[in-house]
Amino acid sequence: MGGYGRGFSATNKRKIGKQGFLLKRTRQNFFQHQTGWIEQRRKYLLSFLMTINILWALYKVEKIYFPILAAIGVPVNIVTIVILSHGKCGLSKSVTRYLVAMSVGDLLVIILDLILRHIPIAYSRYFYFLRFVPMCNIHAVLLYAATDCSVWFTVTFTFDRFVAICCPKLKSKYCSEKSAAVVLGTVTALSCLKNIFWYFMLSGKYFFMNFPWFCYSTWEVMESPVWGTIEFIHHILNPGVPFILILLLNAFTVRHILVSSRARRRLRAHSSGENPRDPEMESRRKSIILLFVISANFILLWSTFMVYSIWRRMYDMGFQLVWLDSFVQELGFVFQLLSCCTNTVIYAVTQTTFREQLKNVIKYPIIQFCKLFNDGNVRILFKNL
């Protein structure tokens, strides 16, 4: 009996010890799981709070930034259109046509997108009456058509300069004022036709947010693969394809310039025995600088908006590999709208004649105002500027 009792007691001890070990491991695994879950939730909460803080800061900045941008962008683009329309900037007629069209497109984007969309969203309580104006889907068609025109006018200008520099046989036929008018008219018509689908996709009621649009829409539309594909193609065509075209055309233009400039230098040095200045290359230089600066400005300021727009529609369609916070979209809007106000600065920096014309436009109303008071000293002061 004693031996049996001792054996039974030892077996129980082993069982109890094994159960205690398993219970201890279970508790450790449970606490580790709980600790990992709490740490994961803590990181998610910190990320969420950071996103909210960045969005809140952006909304505060936009309330100041958007009105200032509108106050500067409208008169600046109007002045640019007036100066370029006079044709006294030393540019060819086709280039002038494209630059005027780009300024008109930028002006329409400022009016339709910045003034009539983003400012009412930033100051929604002052624009509550727009909820009773059922025109949001018409507004969307006009807004996106103007945006397409603004972007594709830049592409057509880039292509015009590519033909003028790299294709001398086509230059006389394509790089003319008439051809520019036909191209710009075709782009405008296609942009309007392309964006009619927004009228049927969105409702007429304003939403006053950018998630995902500024108009109300049904869940069927938001989750529809057909509408999702149409919108995805829309974002590919603007600004995805223009990005690629502008980069390729500029790359080909740079390659042609480098090759031809080396050949011309060798030829002129061989014929004259020295390295004289080339007046043709000097005349091309400013046009080339203008082209590259406009292209770089477009690519840099539109990159954020393009990446987020394509990502959001792909995410809604099920390609959920990467996550981008909503403040990226707001940053995209900030940079994209800024691009509509920078071309005048680019012209003033790269074009001496335009800079002189801009000075005359700025001085003219001040001189006329001074004439009313017969202030000759002030008039002399502005003449010496």
Find out whether 215 and 203 touch, Cβ atoms under 8 Å: yes
Please give the torsion angle defined by the CA atoms of residues 68, 69, 74 and 75, in that order, rounded to the nearest 10 degrees: 60
Give pLDDT, residue 238.
87
| 132 DSSP assignment | G
Find out whether 201 and 213 touch, Cβ atoms under 8 Å: no
Residue 87 phi, psi (nearest 5): 70, 30
| Kind plus residue range of the DSSP H or E element containing 74 | helix 2-85
- What is the reported pTM? 0.81
Give pLDDT, residue 283.
62
The DSSP-derived string for 286-303 is: HHHHHHHHHHHHHHHHHH
Give pLDDT, residue 30.
53
Give pLDDT, residue 70.
95
Give pLDDT, residue 3.
47
Give pLDDT, residue 282.
65
Give pLDDT, residue 53.
84
Find out whether 148 and 186 touch, Cβ atoms under 8 Å: no
The DSSP-derived string for 307-370 is: HHHHHHHHHHTT--S----THHHHHHHHHHHHTTSSHHHHHHHH-HHHHHHHHHHHHHHHHHHH
Tokens of 271: 């014929």
Give pLDDT, residue 4.
45
Tens-digit pLDDT string for the chain (385 aa): 444 444 445 555 555 555 555 555 555 555 555 565 566 676 667 777 887 888 888 889 999 999 999 999 999 999 999 999 988 888 888 999 999 999 999 999 999 999 999 999 999 889 988 888 899 999 999 999 999 999 999 999 999 989 988 888 888 888 899 999 999 999 999 999 999 999 999 999 998 888 767 898 877 787 788 888 888 888 889 888 998 999 999 889 888 887 877 766 666 665 655 555 666 666 667 777 888 888 888 889 998 888 888 887 777 777 777 778 888 888 999 999 999 988 888 888 888 888 888 888 888 887 777 777 665 555 555 555 5
